[in-house]
Structure 1
Amino acid sequence: MSTPPLPPRAGRPSRRRTSTRSGPLEALRLRNYRLFLVGQLLSVSGTWVQRVAQDWLVLDLTHGSGVALGVVSAVQYTPMMLLSSWGGLLADRYSKRLVLTVTQSVLALTAAALGVLAVTGHLALAHVYILAGLMGIVTAVDNPARQSFLIELVGRERLPAAVGLNSATFNVSRMVGPAIGGALIALVGAGPAFLANAASFLAVIASIALMRKDSLFAEPPTVRARGQIRAGWSYVVRNRRVGSTLGLVFVTSTFAMNWPVLLALSARATYDTGAQGYGALLTALAVGSLVGALVSAWRGAPAVAYLLLAAAAFGIAEVVAALMPTYGTFVVALVPVGFLALSVNTTANSLIQMSTPYELRGRVMSVFVMATAGGMPVGGPVLGYVSERFGPAAALAFGGWVSLAAACGAGLAVWRGGRAGDQAASPENPSDRVAAGPDGP
């Protein structure tokens, strides 16, 4: 693919040699990544604050309608399935710093609009639907850019550590954010919680503005051409390692990591606990995920064998959790489940980014975003049916067995690809790079 001439410094990859060590301390030595991590910690915590406030507000506006709550969720997450490929293309064509600055600014404005309407008493359910849909559209652009920006912050050698630390930050936010959101709602109401989330986006915008451009491991943007979205999907289909990894992530996320369905049903129907019991299950899962994220940050370069073993072990751990006879043992069993689930996702994330040529990275990571979240509407009804017919434990065990089967299938596909000479394209293999064809949009 031809690229336009570059200015002397802007847009060129950093020429500094990167350390062969890939522990988290190596990633944290980079000022740009430290800024990004702090911004993410504040912003993701704010997002969880808003998620709690939004659910509470919808239930309050509709006098407890679960249907309305489901509609808001569908309106917000459907754009991720429909528009992520376009978001990935934007991340490839333009500066990821610029894309993130724009998306974070729009997300801040939508959260502020919700907050102002709620505080002034003018917020109606229709406003929630509209603003949730807008946030979903913007998030479909934001997520691929944010995922593919990591490698530009830290380089290839430090990428696994950065992905692990990013996941650790997410899980800390997942534990802290809902607690802050609940406290804000109890003390001052949902409106100020939305305004707090709007303010949290400013942390990301400020962190991006303070980054040193000449310290980024940036690559030239992809030149506009026809057929670029199809080129991204074509690469996923043709490269067995990347395609198998994404397929594994999709299956496990859809049928085995659909926690709102699996854990809510287990807490209510199997162990007869209330909302606090459900919260304890989520906390146990988050603790395991946090440990998994830290271990992933220390592991170094990702390996396909580790991904397959982690996915198989995750499936077995989930089946074991389904067999737990008491609530206490179930809580304990969820810790390794969370650890292995996080190990699967972080390893897959690093493998895909390091196996994909830079000019396609945004589009391929958009498929990763779709794989992790896009199957939720599919898996929810299936797991709900299995739970109603055979019980929540059967639904949990079903997810575990499906994950184990998916790990075996992905391993077979990678093995066949290796025998056929299928090689992962990377920036070090220029001949493997895929350009968009001129034969259609």
Structure 2
Amino acid sequence: MLLAFILAFLVQTQLVQLWHVFVLAGLLGIINALDLPAQQAFLGDLTGMAEVRKAVNLNGMALQGSRTLGPVFAGFLIAKIGNAPAFWLNGLSFLAVVVSLMAVRAQQTRRASSHGGALMQIGEALQFLRTQPRLQDMFFFMAMLTMFYWSIVLNLLPSVASEVLGGDAATFGSLQSASGLGAVIGLIFVVPLAQAGKRSGWILGAAALWVGVGLMGFSVARTLEVAFVTLFMASVAAPVIFTISIGLTQVMAPPEMRARLISLFTMISFGLQPLAALAVGALAERVGVQPVIQFNATMIVIGAAAILTLRTDLRTWVSPQPGTTPVPLPAEVGLD
């Protein structure tokens, strides 16, 4: 909230410069690095493990809904009242979040204390992760989605709109709508069906293949209609990977490891995004936008096919249902 008010003040006084935006964005990234893992780990305490996957789904719906409707609403506000008032309203909107968090009463979960520093705790989480092949698979699917799907959706859509489709801001808005609408439809209709299934390995693999095939179609689209449909198709399956992966991580992790594993999961899902953005941007300048999208789509298909082929136990794995006992902490993973 404070960062939003600072930006609003700079815009209001016409003092804002590009470096201000860079600094505020960097500070926001630091805050999110602390806040997002805490939010996800808190879901289990708030709802209980029996309902945590439903809570993750609702949280994803809120995120995708805001991602889809937020830019539209922001554009409407800026057009009606101007930049500075829109930024002030953005800052004030955080008051509702603060009040809601202050009103939350959750049952405290007892966790074994760890007296080591942050690096030691991360090391313990990595040591535990090495003993859990199914959690490794969840992290692999999420890393693949971040590097090869989100890098396209978050960074190359403006280039697709202008360079490939020969469009303008309205074309870019249509592509954003296709991605956001697909994600919302996936969260509402597809994710509940996927969560009801027991063969989560097959479900994750099928979802990744669907995303890859959809992106492949998007990479060869020459008209807005084809681009809209193929991007929509890819975006329908993407929330399945995120929601099932983080939901199973919540269910399978022992309480003393849950926050640390969620932190690692967040590092993969958000920390890889800037690196992937830099890579796809540099490649797009050298070889063009469509070849980069084709490459990313191919990598998703190959990655999904490879993990389903090589990890035979993943194909037969029956995922734990909500309310089951978490994976016990191995003896070799000690908490100091």
Q: Same fold (TM over 0.5)?
A: yes
Query: Deviations for 1:322-350, whole angstroms, at most 9, x for unmatched residues?
Result: 23342211111111111011211111111
When the two chains are superposed, the root-mean-square deviation of aligned CA atoms in Å is 2.6
Instruction: Quote the residue 2:156 is aligned against.
Output: 262
CA contact 1:253–1:372 (8 Å) conserved in 2: yes
CA contact 1:240–1:414 (8 Å) conserved in 2: no
Q: How many residues align?
A: 324
Pairing partner for 1:271 from 145, 149, 165 = 165
Instruction: Quote the residue 2:328 is aligned against.
Output: 430
Q: Which amino acid aligns with 1:224?
A: S
Change (3 A) 1:212 1:296: farther
Distance between the aligned counterparts of 2:216 and 2:188, measured in 1?
24
CA contact 1:185–1:193 (8 Å) conserved in 2: yes
Distance between the aligned counterparts of 2:305 and 2:170, measured in 1?
37
Deviation at 1:264, TM superposition (A): 2.0
Change (3 A) 1:128 1:380: closer
Distance between the aligned counterparts of 1:234 and 1:312, measured in 2?
30
CA contact 2:128–2:329 (8 Å) conserved in 1: no
Q: Which amino acid aligns with 1:320?
A: G
Counterpart secondary structure, 2:156:
helix
After TM superposition, where is structure 1 displaced by more than 6 Å over at least 4 residues in a row?
A: none
Pairing partner for 1:166 from 55, 59, 62 = 59
Instruction: Quote the residue 2:32 is aligned against.
Output: 139
- Within 5 Å, which residues of 2 pair with 1:333-348? 333-348=230-245
Pairing partner for 1:304 from 177, 201, 204 = 201
Deviation at 1:402, TM superposition (A): 0.7
Query: Deviations for 1:147-171, whole angstroms, at most 9, x for unmatched residues?
Result: 1122222222322222222211112
Is 1:117 aligned to residue 13 of structure 2? no
Distance between the aligned counterparts of 1:297 and 1:210, measured in 2?
29
Pairing partner for 2:76 from 172, 183, 186 = 183
Query: Deviations for 1:229-249, whole angstroms, at most 9, x for unmatched residues?
Result: 211122223321112221221
Deviation at 1:429, TM superposition (A): 4.1
Counterpart secondary structure, 2:115:
coil
Distance between the aligned counterparts of 1:435 and 1:203, measured in 2?
41
- Within 5 Å, which residues of 2 pair with 1:22-421? 108-213=1-106, 216=107, 218-226=108-116, 227-258=120-151, 259-296=153-190, 298-299=192-193, 300-301=195-196, 303-412=200-309, 414-415=311-312
Q: Which amino acid aligns with 1:430?
A: P
Distance between the aligned counterparts of 1:160 and 1:249, measured in 2?
16
**How high is the sequence identity, in percent, across the aligned residues?**
27
Q: Which amino acid aligns with 1:391?
A: G
CA contact 2:191–2:240 (8 Å) conserved in 1: no
Distance between the aligned counterparts of 2:287 and 2:22, measured in 1?
35
TM normalised by structure 1 equals 0.67
Change (3 A) 1:385 1:118: closer
Q: Which amino acid aligns with 2:164?
A: T
Deviation at 1:412, TM superposition (A): 4.5
Distance between the aligned counterparts of 2:190 and 2:52, measured in 1?
11
Q: Which amino acid aligns with 1:355?
A: M
Q: Which amino acid aligns with 2:99?
A: A
Q: Which amino acid aligns with 1:318?
A: L
Change (3 A) 1:434 1:279: farther
Distance between the aligned counterparts of 1:127 and 1:379, measured in 2?
24
Deviation at 1:257, TM superposition (A): 2.0
Distance between the aligned counterparts of 1:121 and 1:265, measured in 2?
30
Range that drifts further, 140-149 or 193-202: 193-202
Change (3 A) 1:124 1:434: farther
Deviation at 1:175, TM superposition (A): 2.1
Return 5+ residue gaps in structure 1 as ranges. Answer: 1-107
Counterpart secondary structure, 1:375:
helix
Counterpart secondary structure, 2:192:
helix
Counterpart secondary structure, 2:150:
coil
Distance between the aligned counterparts of 2:237 and 2:332, measured in 1?
33
CA contact 2:139–2:265 (8 Å) conserved in 1: yes
Q: Which amino acid aligns with 2:304?
A: A
Instruction: Quote the residue 1:11 is aligned against.
Output: none
